[in-house]
Amino acid sequence: MLGVDLDSCFNMAQAVVGGMKARRWGRIVNIASINGQTGQFGQTNYAAAKAGMLGFTRPWRSRWRAMA
C-alpha cells in the first residue's frame, strides 16, 4: 500500500510538471484521508501511506509557490 500511494503521487507529479512549468501555472490535487494526520487503531499502514502523501505534497507546493 505504501509503495502504491507514494509512487503514484510522485509519478503523476513528474508527468505533469513540465506542462505546468511551461505555462507557469497549474494544480496538483492529492486526496488523502484524515487518517494521515490523526491515524486510526489497526490501520497503521494506511495512515503511514496517507501521511506520506501529505509529506510529499506540502513541500512540493511550497517549492512551486517560490518559483511563481
Report which DSSP code applies to 52.
Answer: H
Give me the active site residues, please.
46
48 CB contacts (<8 Å, ≥6 apart)? 2
SS3 12: helix
State the residue for C-alpha cell 501511506: 49
